[in-house]
């Protein structure tokens, strides 16, 4: 078999579609190129003729889709001479910022809501060496503080208000189109700050448009003459669906939510930064927003793990739970090809996983053959 070219991350892979030059020093950990897995058992369970794929973003270097945005944001920050980055985060952005800052040799400051981020994410920020600032407040308050402090201190914001973040994240859509040979009919994502749904839409629009046209109102870079447009399948774009946790569902309420709460801490956000853009995504794509209870989110997480062997974090499972409901009701019609983004790895939040598996098949026995045999024969 001939040797394959070494994969060196999404900026190198998609440099013609990204704001980099030949001289740009690229800060990469080999992010992107994640598996698109076709579900087998869940569609069968639903009894509907649909094709559901999951884009397993939890297999990125720090375990979430944030690495796609962070390779771009940190690459550009370094190019522009910055020595420090800052973000507010529900956990995954802080993990990615910390890792890419370490790689670049610059300082990361991360603001996280005290007691409301999953253990794996906290471990990452600390281990990668970020200055970890816990605030007695929520993500939305952290976000406001970050925006204010960045005006007074020499730090670059790497939240998705930084336009380079969305540029990196749009590449997930490129990968999906290349692998399916076209865009899916529906693309479903969990929505928090609403950067990722916007980034995916930008990616789909660029890949389906002729060079030099205005591809979408959602893109900060689009001045009516898109430099990055031009992909393999012209005219193919999905309907975009955003699922939120019921306790943190500003897009479903139509207004900001004051005290957001959900077990899916990654999307515990009441005042999304990409508010206007995400509404444009909904309009342009003919999509919708909907909400799921925490119980439905956790049930979907468990089902995906136990029926398909895929472990995602609670927030990510919102897209699976939402799709199951919308396929069942017929809102997503039979014959559809659907992609769900699994935004983060299940290992990020071991506490929630263990807590909801109280009814699991774990037994504790003495270390002898008879006990092991009893344990096995009791189940078979």
- HEC assignment per residue over 297-342: HHHHHHHHHHHHCCCECHHHHHHHHHHHHHHHHCCCCCCCEEEEEE
Pick the closer one to ligand F0G by CB: 230 or 289: 289
Pick the closer one to ligand F0G by CB: 55 or 66: 66
Pick the closer one to ligand F0G by CB: 238 or 344: 344
> For residue 124, with 0-12 CB atoms within 10 Å meaning exposed, 13-18 middle and 19 or more buried, which class applies?
buried
Q: Supply the minimum distance, in Å, between the C-beta of residue 350 and ligand F0G.
A: 15
Among 64, 138, 167, 244, binds ligand F0G (CB under 6 A): 64
# of chain residues touching ligand F0G (CB under 6 A): 22
Distance CA(350)–CA(122), nearest Å, equals 12
- CB atoms near residue 16 (< 10 Å): 9
Q: Supply the minimum distance, in Å, between the C-beta of residue 313 and ligand F0G.
A: 5
Among 193, 218, 262, 336, binds ligand F0G (CB under 6 A): 193
Pick the closer one to ligand F0G by CB: 102 or 194: 194
Kindly calculate the radius of gyration of the chain based on its CA atoms and give it in whole angstroms.
21
Among 92, 138, 162, 271, binds ligand F0G (CB under 6 A): 92
Binders of ligand F0G in range 105-124 (CB under 6 A)? none
Which residues partner with 243 through β-bridges? 190, 290
Q: Supply the minimum distance, in Å, between the C-beta of residue 344 and ligand F0G.
A: 3
Pick the closer one to ligand F0G by CB: 24 or 35: 35
Distance CA(301)–CA(309), nearest Å, equals 11
Pick the closer one to ligand F0G by CB: 230 or 301: 301
Of 22-30, 184-192, 232-240, 352-360, the window that binds ligand F0G (rule: CB under 6 A) is: 184-192
DSSP annotation of 64: B
Q: Supply the minimum distance, in Å, between the C-beta of residue 162 and ligand F0G.
A: 12
Among 195, 238, 250, 321, binds ligand F0G (CB under 6 A): 195
Residue 352 binds ligand F0G (CB under 6 A): no
Question: Comparing C-alpha atoms, which of 159, 100, 160, 151 is closest to residue 125?
Answer: 100
Binders of ligand F0G in range 280-339 (CB under 6 A)? 313, 315-316
Of 18-26, 90-98, 224-232, 286-294, the window that binds ligand F0G (rule: CB under 6 A) is: 90-98
Residue 61 binds ligand F0G (CB under 6 A): no
Give residues with Cβ within 8 angstroms of 301, minimum separation 6. 312, 313, 314, 316, 317, 320, 346, 353, 356
Is 298 within 8 Å of 356 (Cβ atoms)? yes
Q: Which residue's entry shows tokens 């793990």?
A: 305
Give residues with Cβ within 8 angstroms of 193, minimum separation 6. 139, 143, 159, 160, 269, 272, 273, 274
Q: Strands, DSSP E only, in the chain?
A: 36-38, 51-56, 84-88, 107-113, 131-135, 156-157, 186-190, 239-245, 288-292, 337-342
DSSP annotation of 69: H
Residue 89 binds ligand F0G (CB under 6 A): yes
Residue 343 binds ligand F0G (CB under 6 A): yes
Of 15-23, 87-95, 360-368, 371-379, the window that binds ligand F0G (rule: CB under 6 A) is: 87-95
Which spans of this chain sit near ligand F0G (rule: CB under 6 A)?
64, 66, 89-93, 160, 190-196, 266-267, 313, 315-316, 343-344
């Amino acid at each position: 078999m001939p040797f394959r070219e070494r994969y060196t991350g999404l900026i190198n892979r998609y440099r013609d579609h990204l704001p980099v030059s030949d001289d740009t020093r690229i800060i990469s950990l080999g992010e992107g190129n994640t598996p698109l897995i076709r579900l087998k058992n869940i569609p069968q369970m639903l009894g509907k003729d649909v094709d559901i794929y999951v884009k397993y973003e939890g297999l990125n270097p720090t375990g979430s889709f944030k690495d796609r945005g962070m390779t771009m944001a940190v690459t550009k920050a370094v190019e522009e001479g910055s020595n420090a980055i800052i973000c507010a985060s529900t956990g995954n952005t802080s993990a990615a910022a910390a890792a890419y800052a370490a790689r670049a040799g610059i300082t990361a400051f991360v603001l996280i809501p005290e007691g409301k981020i999953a253990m794996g994410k906290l471990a990452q920020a600390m281990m990668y060496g970020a200055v970890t600032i816990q605030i007695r407040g929520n993500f939305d308050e952290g976000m406001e503080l970050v925006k204010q402090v960045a005006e007074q201190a020499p730090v670059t914001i790497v939240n998705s208000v930084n336009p380079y973040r969305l540029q990196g994240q749009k590449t997930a859509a490129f990968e999906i189109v290349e692998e399916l040979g076209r865009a899916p009919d529906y693309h479903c994502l969990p929505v928090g700050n609403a950067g990722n749904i916007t980034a995916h839409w930008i990616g789909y629009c660029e890949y389906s448009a002729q060079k030099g046209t205005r591809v979408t109102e959602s893109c900060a870079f689009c001045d009516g003459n898109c430099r990055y447009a031009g992909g393999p399948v012209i005219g193919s774009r999905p309907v975009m669906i955003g699922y939120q946790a019921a306790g943190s569902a500003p897009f479903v309420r139509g207004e900001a939510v004051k005290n957001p709460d959900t077990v899916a801490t990654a999307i515990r956000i009441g005042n999304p930064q990409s508010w206007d853009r995400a509404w444009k995504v909904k309009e342009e794509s003919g999509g919708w927003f909907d909400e799921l209870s925490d119980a439905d989110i956790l049930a979907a997480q468990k089902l995906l793990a136990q029926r398909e062997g895929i472990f995602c974090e609670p927030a990510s499972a919102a897209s699976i739970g939402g799709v199951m409901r919308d396929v069942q009701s017929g809102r997503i019609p039979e014959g559809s090809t659907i992609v769900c983004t699994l935004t983060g790895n299940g290992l990020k939040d071991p506490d929630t996983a263990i807590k909801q598996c109280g009814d699991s098949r774990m037994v504790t026995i003495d270390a002898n053959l008879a006990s092991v045999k009893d344990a096995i024969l009791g189940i078979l």
